[in-house]
Amino acid sequence: MTTEFLSLRDAMATHVRDGMTVALEGFTHLIPFAAGQELIRQQRRDLTLVRMTPDLIYDQMVGMGCAKSLVFSWGGNPGVGSLHRLRDAIEHQWPNALTIDEHSHAGMAVRYSAGASGLPFGILKGYTGTGLAVENRAHVATIACPFTGENLTALPAITPDVTVLHAQQADGAGNVLLRGIVGASREAAMAARCLVVTVEEVVEELDAPMNAFVIPAWQVHAIAEVPGGAYPSYALGFYSRDNAFYQAWDEIARSRSDFLAWMERHVLGTVDHTEFLCSVGAAE
Amino acid sequence: MTTEFLSLRDAMATHVRDGMTVALEGFTHLIPFAAGQELIRQQRRDLTLVRMTPDLIYDQMVGMGCAKSLVFSWGGNPGVGSLHRLRDAIEHQWPNALTIDEHSHAGMAVRYSAGASGLPFGILKGYTGTGLAVENRAHVATIACPFTGENLTALPAITPDVTVLHAQQADGAGNVLLRGIVGASREAAMAARCLVVTVEEVVEELDAPMNAFVIPAWQVHAIAEVPGGAYPSYALGFYSRDNAFYQAWDEIARSRSDFLAWMERHVLGTVDHTEFLCSVGAAE
Amino acid sequence: MTAPAWTPDEMMTVAAARRLRDGAVCFVGIGLPSAACNLARMTHAPELVLIYESGTVGARPTVLPLSIGDGELAETARSVIPLPEIFTQYLQRGRVDIGFLGAAQIDRFGNLNSTVIGPYAQPTVRLPGAGGAPEIAAHAREVLVVMKQSARTFVEQLDFCTTPARPSALITDLGVFEPDPATRELCLSAVFDGVAKEDVVAACGWPLRIADRLGTIAPPTADELEILRDLQARTRDAHAARVRIRLPF
Amino acid sequence: MTAPAWTPDEMMTVAAARRLRDGAVCFVGIGLPSAACNLARMTHAPELVLIYESGTVGARPTVLPLSIGDGELAETARSVIPLPEIFTQYLQRGRVDIGFLGAAQIDRFGNLNSTVIGPYAQPTVRLPGAGGAPEIAAHAREVLVVMKQSARTFVEQLDFCTTPARPSALITDLGVFEPDPATRELCLSAVFDGVAKEDVVAACGWPLRIADRLGTIAPPTADELEILRDLQARTRDAHAARVRIRLPF
């Protein structure tokens, strides 16, 4: 497989289709916002969205009607409060009903790791006595250790149709470097049938120490160079998390009308991520 | 827990006792030879030795009668041929009978990972149709996926009483840096009840990039500074693998008498690793 | 009587920080737990090891992170590892001494709800959910809970049990609860300086039992207050600044 | 007839190398597989991706490693990752195109023994064992086997089945075997230039079937031979040198 270098628009249009299971991963750091907003522009529908922390990007995608289902483990605005659009979808089915497949962080990590390992399920100690085990019987089972008899929890693997990551660098061959907090990004990448990566920059040679987190080119279906592509989350070494924006989002997303107006103006009303960044005053 | 900085002799005498399950890990790279040879000098007995690749160090320990049992997945002299002492123990019970618990590399990796994760077992696709599954029933079981019904193989966790690693650096607080090929060293370290590390050097500040393999001090029971401690394997950035010595070992270990004479002269006849290195002509 | 020179939130943070012994390995949630852990690290427990679930081990932030994975955490950490290893090799393996949790509801045994108010399928309020909490409670050697007290959130019956927990202490904005050794029910063991036990009882939704020897928690020292307020001020400043990205084209 | 200007080992290595298409992801064993893969990389397949089980992904060694984890592999690799990930995230996940194996015994279907000669509990010869072979055979999309041929090692019945395998080709020092599409039995499909099929039959412990249209493998080209011999010479020199460690005290 040869990695294709595409525009963000083409990368999303080529690889993400209505009805797919899609994971835009990145734990707080390197969240692929530009890719998610491009999916909103392309009006994708009926997606099963997978992320440990839906964060603002899935709040936007859910609020704009891209998702029919959500697989997640913590759905808040970190350090701020609720994700109002996610709440509205679950509490009032607006703009549409949303099925949820809910886990703990440890559970999501196990599910991604199982998918990345080519196993149908993974195991952990946990879930005993939790409401999750009661409410999510389709995705939580008990399994006994064949050696000790101890009961453990089994969870089914996640294997997204497409995983989208944002990373600091790619080289011309398509090798990708992630640096800093990686969350479960590597597992989400290896679990996926198709991997698309947006990067801050394409360089001659990766600035990668020997044991760095490098995804080899032959695992990467497409790369799009999108500077600022993780904003308002961050890309270590490039820009910081816009914590002020995360705080401001609470007001923006609180009402349906304010949310729609903001999305119209800054996402649907811009042609690409550079215009988006200028439009929200995040570019200089 | 505070990391103790000890001489190699004291580190081994304090933490490794007869009858224990001990893993001296390091896959080709960073094999803790000095520690193993110190255990020979201290005449440890009845150890259950765990290593993916027994390599020359367990050939020496088995040949000197330290082990009652061996857990492993590939017992040759890489690129050269047999481990003659290991063969002699299995084929002729010399110097004593040796129980074996044998796996594939993938199986050992799963067993260490399970131990490192606090799980009683781990799973993989494999072993089906292999003689290992037939001959090692105590440590190989079949388990069905509760979601798909697919049969997988379950293997029990390994949790050594003591894992010994060799690493490039420790800092004064006891944090340890491994660089280069790490094999299953980190999993063996996290699986162990007690972790002892020999290092090439103790430094003020680790030369560690952000996502380096660092074992935090509070996981490390004891550190001994032993320059050349991985010889005749290697420590990337310090010295290369002595492939000529690995080739020479084939002749040294072929007969019991030559082996014993060599061990008498170079290991039992030296007080520490520095003397050993001088004695085999590996120091300058 | 003059108003105290500190807020209940500050007292709660200080009381929580004091329970952290130096050298302990702490699994830190965002918000008040993070403030308490860093206050402890900056006062009596300089060698406190902070693990954030994002993958930062041994973080020493100078400002409090807003999210669990701010760059500040990565840049000051001893190492930054994949999140799955945090949950398997550190937490589940039993390498964490203290887990620090909050929640939207708590019951008299310390079980926690951070998932929904109302029925799960049709919630009146959808809360963020579990995050790391269930496994932190299951695997840390000791669990501390910090929660502002109210009869609405300290309940007879949880709407949903996100996290079965048996905390060694519950620190509220009024005092400290500890489990009865026999029944494991949380009982009021100490009140903050200036708080009447009747106020604590009134702000608890279950019939609160009170320890025979009710203690009083000393007010924040000048040092504690100054360090906490400096930390909070630095944090506010850091998070107020908008980010500007220099685009290459 | 003059003696050929190459050895059977060289011919075997060249024939194996030719089967590796550029860009394929190869899980490489030590010894002849490693020589063949690197020869391919240095000739017709510059973008061949070599994965060694030690954790080196995309290694481009200039000399052949003696062990599976020589420093040369780490220093020339695209990345160096923990060994468990090699076996889970790469091999078991199905990311490997070609697995390359050798063994001490092979049967007519390609099953391999690298564990014992004689009974497992009381072997006459204890061999190194499985290493990565069983899972390479199970998970790589295609398996190649290279083994010197002899009636003693190409057997009716394995002493021990280390690795159930169905190779797409078996390359020996005499020719190439490929599976019958219906029965999966390995049949002689081609001989090396100058080898008589009777010699191949004589050096096989099972009644060898021969393909209807028996091919002939072209001898090594001057290029192939020169590059292989240079590689082997560099390798011999590199491994002959003893290591001296400069002690700090």
CA–CA distance from A123 to each of B106, B148, C96 (Å)? Answer: 18, 15, 20
* Placement of tokens 């031979």 in the chain: D225
One-letter amino acid for residue C114 of the chain:
S
Strand-pair partners of B187: none
Measured in angstroms, the CA of C71 and the nearest CA of chain A are apart by 6
Confidence band, pLDDT 50/70/90 cuts, at residue A36 = very high
**B72 neighbourhood in chain D, CB within 8 Å:** 129
CB contact under 8 A, B125 and D242: no
pLDDT value for D249: 67
A175 in D contact zone (CB under 8 Å)? yes
Instruction: Give the mean model confidence (pLDDT) for residues D201-225.
Output: 96
CA distances from C115 to A90, A104, A274, C170 (A): 12, 11, 37, 19
B234 touches chain D (CB under 8 A): yes
**Interface contact A216-D58, CB threshold 8 A:** yes
User: Where do runs of H (alpha helix) occur along chain A?
Assistant: 8-15, 33-41, 55-63, 84-92, 105-116, 131-135, 185-191, 243-252, 256-263, 273-279
What are all long-range contacts of A248-251, with beta carbons under 8 Å and residues at least 24 apart?
A249/A56, A249/A59, A249/A77, A249/A80, A250/A77, A250/A80, A250/A81, A250/A82, A250/A84
Question: By three-state DSSP, how is residue C5 classified?
Answer: coil
Residue of C79, C97, C135 to mutate, testing the B interface (most B Cβ within 10 Å of its Cβ): C79
Instruction: Please classify residue A264 by burial: count the beta carbons closer than 10 Å to its beta carbon, then call 0-12 exposed, 13-18 middle and 19+ buried.
Output: exposed
How many angstroms separate the CA of residue B81 from the nearest CA in chain C? 36
Sheet strands (E) in chain C: 25-28, 49-52, 56-57, 79-80, 98-101, 105-106, 112-113, 116-117, 125-126, 142-146, 169-171, 175-179, 186-192, 210-217
pLDDT value for C69: 83
Q: Which of D53, D72, D135, D224 is catalytic?
A: D53
pLDDT of residue C2: 59
Q: Mind listing the pLDDT tens digit of every residue in chain C (249 residues)?
A: 456 799 999 999 999 999 999 999 999 977 788 999 999 999 999 999 999 999 999 999 999 988 888 888 999 999 999 999 999 999 999 999 999 999 999 999 999 999 999 999 999 999 999 999 999 999 999 999 999 999 999 999 999 999 999 999 999 999 999 999 999 999 999 999 999 999 999 999 999 999 999 999 999 999 999 999 999 999 999 988 889 999 886
Q: Which chains touch D (3 or more CB pairs under 8 A)?
A: A, B
Gap from C72 CA to chain A (nearest CA, Å):
9
Q: What percent of chain A has pLDDT over 90?
A: 98
- Is A175–D78 a contact, with Cβ atoms under 8 angstroms apart? yes
CA distance C137 to chain A (A): 9
Q: Which residues of D touch A118 (CB under 8 A)?
A: 88, 92-94, 139
**Chain A neighbours, 3+ Cβ pairs < 8 A:** B, C, D
What ipTM was estimated for this complex?
0.97
Q: What is the pLDDT of residue C244?
A: 94
Please compute the mean of the pLDDT values over residues D152-166 and round it to a whole number: 97
Q: Residue A115 in 3-state DSSP? A: helix
pLDDT tens string A131-169: 999 999 999 999 999 999 999 999 999 999 999 999 999
Cβ-based contacts under 8 A for chains A and D? 47
What's the pLDDT at C3? 61
Please name which of C145, C151, C69, C83 lies closest in space to residue C114, comparing C-alpha atoms: C145
Closest approach of C212 to chain A, Cα-based (Å):
32
Whether pLDDT at B116 is above 60: yes
Considering only CB atoms, B212 lies closest to which of A141, A154, A211, namely A211
* B149 touching chain D per CB within 8 A: no
What are C113's two structure tokens? 């709800």
A216 and D89 in contact by Cβ < 8 A? no
User: Across chain D, what does the average pLDDT equal?
Assistant: 94
Q: What is residue C249's predicted lDDT score, i.e. its pLDDT?
A: 67
> Taking CB atoms and an 8 Å limit, are A118 and D92 in contact across chains?
yes
Please determine, for residue D1, whether its predicted confidence score (pLDDT) is greater than 60: no
Residues 61-80 of chain B whose Cβ lies under 8 A from any Cβ of chain D: 72-76, 78-80
Which of B28, B113, B214, B272 is best to mutate for the D interface (most D CBs within 10 A)?
B28
Nearest to A145 among B121, B142, B211 (CB): B121
Q: Considering only CA atoms, which of D179, D175, D217 is closest in space to residue D197?
A: D175
With an 8 Å Cβ cutoff, the interface of chain B facing chain A consists of 118-121, 123-125, 141-143, 145-148, 150, 152, 154, 156, 179-180, 182, 209-213, 236
pLDDT in tens, D215-231: 999 999 999 999 999 99
User: Residue C93: which of B116, B213, B214 has the nearest Cβ?
Assistant: B116
Q: Which residues of chain B does C80 touch, with a Cβ-Cβ cutoff of 8 Å? A: 210-211
**Would you call D95 and A208 a contact, using CB atoms and an 8 Å cutoff?**
no
Tell me the average pLDDT across D174-203: 97
Mean pLDDT of A268-284: 96
Q: At A67, phi and psi to the nearest 5?
A: -115, 145
Distance from CA of A16 to the nearest CA of C (A): 26
Most D CBs within 10 Å: which of A2, A110, A117, as the mutation test of the D interface? A117
Q: How far is CA D56 from CA D61, D65, D72, D82, in A?
A: 11, 12, 10, 9
CB contact under 8 A, A121 and B148: yes
For strands B47-50 and B67-72, give the pairing. Answer: parallel
Torsion of CA B114, B120, B125, B127, to 10 degrees: 110
A109 CA: distance to closest CA in chain C (Å): 5
Which of C53, C70, C80, C83 should one mutate to test binding to chain A, selecting the residue with the greatest count of A CBs within 10 A? C83
Among chain A residues, the shortest Cα distance to D55 is held by A211
The partner residue sitting opposite C25, judged by closest CB among B2, B190, B218, is B218
Q: Which residues of B touch C56 (CB under 8 A)?
A: none
Whether residues C57 and B212 touch (CB distance < 8 A) is answered with no
- In the DSSP assignment, the letter for residue A258 is H
Higher pLDDT, C32 or A20: A20
In total, the C-beta contacts within 8 angstroms joining chain A to chain B are 72
Min distance D80 CA to chain A CA atoms (Å): 5
**Given this model, what pLDDT does residue B170 score?**
98
Hey, which residues of C are catalytic here? 53
Q: Which residues contact A185 (CB under 8 A, 6 or more apart)?
A: A25, A26, A27, A30, A165, A178
Q: Please answer whether residues A126 and C138 qualify as being in contact, where contact means their C-beta atoms are separated by less than 8 angstroms.
A: yes
Predicted confidence at residue C70, as pLDDT, reads: 85
Over residues D27-51, the pLDDT tens digits come to: 997 778 899 999 999 999 999 999 9
Give dist(CA D93, CA A190) in Å, integer: 8
Mutation choice for B interface testing from D245, D247, D249 by most B CBs within 10 A = D245
Using only C-alpha atoms, chain D has a radius of gyration, in whole angstroms, of: 18
